[in-house]
Amino acid sequence: MTETTSRADAARFLETAEGRLKDLAIAAQQADWVNATYITPDTDALSARATSRFISETLDLAKRSTEFAEGSLDEELRRKFKLLRLLLPLVGPSDPVESEELTRRVTAMQGAYAKGHHTLVGEREPRDLQGLSHVLEESRDPARLVDAWAGWHRIGRSIRPDFERYVELANRGAGELGFADMGVMWRSKYDMEPEAFAREVDRLWESVRPLYEALHAYVRHRLVAVYGADVVDPRGPIPIHLLGNMWAQSWDGIYPILVPPGTEAGFDLTRILVARGTTPTDLVRYAERFFESLGLGTLPPTFWERSMFVRPRDREVVCHASAWNIDFAEDLRIKMCIEITDEDFRTIHHELGHSYYQRAYSGQSFLFRDSAHDGFHEAVGDTVALSVTPEYLAKIGLLSDVPPDTGDLGLLLRRALEKIAFLPFGLVVDRWRWEVFSGAVSPSEYNPRWWDLRRRYQGVVPPGERSADEFDPGAKYHVAANTPYMRYFLAHILQFQFHRALVRAMGDSGPLHRASIYGSKEAGRRLKTMMELGQRREWPDALEAITGERRMEATGLLEYFRPLQRWLEEQNRSIPTGW
């Protein structure tokens, strides 16, 4: 076979592969959508079979791709072959029975998660995750908080048997593609060696750790004042159930008890939206108009016809917010159980970031229809959400006037409770799974190691002893759904890097936390240029297109929160830091 023939054969192979995979991916997306919005044993089975067919074909094509000598191919073809082998976060074994078993078990884990409920002491009706989460945000009764937290975490026990078998089968599939395990396969998606990527994550974490520790010390000190030193150790980790979120991945739910005396709490966007009679569709329209102001157009009519904005009353659904592109072209949708809150207002802006990114790269060939790396997809939506500032809210009529900067400290504190508090959790979920996939952590050590890492990175502990028989990681959707999580950690770094670059590009030299890119066609142009690249180029090229930089850095984040960090350091002068 000549070199010319080899290139031609490789190009034909990839063209056929992309066409076949696109057809199967659309079928799997359609089945998954129905399953997520109408959970029954039948839709579970349909989703599992469609996904299994896609996985089996992907595995077969990835194995056949090794027949081509990539050294003789041009850069685009080599990249396509690499992405073909990394197309899915889950690859089943070549044995069709085992492959179908793997997808069936993942579907079962998602279904068990979606159907989880717990009846609180003194109540007759069971609560779902949203209902229990409201308790964690609103109650200040430690016993009730423990009840809500522990009640939801019991879901892990039902997921654990499927998870153990999933690890075994998923590792077998990854091995057939030449990866040591699933964790290595996930880390191979970042255009660098897997271990180099792990070191990059450590570098980024170390750059933000001092800010997190300052926030942790302040929050712990305030919680001691509320609950007493017998509940919260003034020098130790924070009991997780007191932080206002089921996983303590954000702490803004307890913002009202963390506002220091003399500091303005700022406006209440939830109250404003409710008072105006805002509907779920209204919230989505606000977000669409944001993207329209950047010059990125409106959403297709089918988006409004086919999306799920509210929880149906007649069936079980997966309420976890997500953005879908069913046909990898124009069939854009979001799935959410929207509530009229500040949080969901921002979440919808985030989800539409996914939708506009999906549409931007739809002109690429199938294997390039994704973000530069998965952190980029999350970061685009989060970058837009950073522009939900008082200035933006005043421009769209939700505030009558822009509040003075005397309220900035409160706004920064609230955002830090969401963004900075998340960073170590974003790290832990996949660090734990990397160890599980590699075999460094055995099933008997799943739960102890989970809490070891959470104490080390987050400085949190569970309410009481958690036995090795529990499976608390399974109480997190992304673990049950086989969704890699490092993307969220990276996005929490990148969004501030993006935000700073876009704000400065539009000529705004003021404080980053007050800036909004709403209405900026230049910001929209930069975003579109980057998004249209899809995954055709390595991520440093995409990063350069939007920021002019080729390395992920936390300097944008640190600049954004600099006023708050100085204030925290002043507050913490006389109190312990660390745990």
Please list, residue by residue across 297-330, b when 16 or more beta carbons sit within 10 angstroms of its beta carbon and e when fewer do.
Answer: eebbeebeebbbbeeeeeebbbbbbbbbbbebee
Nearest to residue 293, comparing CAs of 223, 396, 209? 396
Residues 6+ apart with CB under 8 A from 135: 120, 127, 144, 145, 148
Q: How far apart are CA 476 and CA 525, in angstroms?
A: 36
With the CA atoms of 206, 210, 216 and 217 taken in that order, what torsion angle do they form, in degrees rounded to the nearest 10? Answer: 150
- Kindly state the helix (H) or strand (E) to which residue 323 belongs, with its residue range: strand 322-325
d(CA 281, CA 374): 28
φ, ψ of residue 243 to 5 degrees: the values are: -100, 5
- Would residue 378 show up in a list of annotated catalytic residues for this protein? yes
Tokens matching residue 75: 């850069």
> Is the torsion defined by CA of 370, 376, 379, 384 positive or negative?
negative
Q: Are 104 and 53 in contact (CB under 8 A)?
A: no
- Residue of 212, 357, 485, 488 marked active site: 488
320 is catalytic: yes
- Give catalytic status of residue 522 as yes or no: no
Distance CA 265, CA 167 (A): 46
Give the integer Cα–Cα distance in Å for 470 and 481.
Answer: 18
Active-site residue identified among 118, 350, 373, 499: 350
Q: What is the 3-state secondary structure (H, E, C) of 158-187?
A: HHHHHHHHHHHHHHHHHHHCCCCCHHHHHH
Q: Confirm whether 373 is a catalytic residue.
A: no
Of 70, 112, 478, 538, which one is the catalytic site residue? 478
For this structure, is 117 an active site residue?
Answer: no
Count CB-CB contacts under 10 A for residue 409.
18
Given the residues 378, 418, 435, 553, the one annotated as active site = 378
Catalytic entry in 118, 354, 377, 499? 354
Distance separating alpha carbons of residues 320 and 478, to the nearest angstrom: 10
Q: How far is CA 368 from the centre of its chain?
A: 21
292 is catalytic: no
Cβ neighbours of 575 (radius 10 Å): 13
Is 354 labeled as catalytic in the residue annotation?
Answer: yes
Options 117, 164, 320, 559, the catalytic residue: 320
Report helix, strand or coil for 560: helix
Q: 379, 211 in Cβ contact below 8 A? A: no
* Active-site entry in 27, 321, 329, 394: 321
Which distant-in-sequence residues (6+ apart) come within 8 Å of 16 by Cβ?
none
Could you confirm whether 153 is annotated as catalytic? no
Q: Which of 239, 503, 261 is nearest to 384 (CA)?
A: 503
Kindly tell me the sign of the dihedral angle through the C-alpha atoms of 359, 361, 363, 368.
Answer: negative
Asked if 327 and 26 touch (Cβ cutoff 8 Å), the reply is: yes
Contact partners, residue 364, CB within 8 Å, separation at least 6: 532, 533, 534, 535, 536
Signed CA dihedral, 25, 319, 105, 483: sign only = positive
Tell me how far apart the alpha carbons of residues 523 and 505 are, in angstroms, rounded to a whole number: 7
Q: Rounded distance, CA 395 to CA 387, Å?
A: 12
Which of the residues are catalytic?
A: 320-321, 350-351, 354, 378, 478, 488
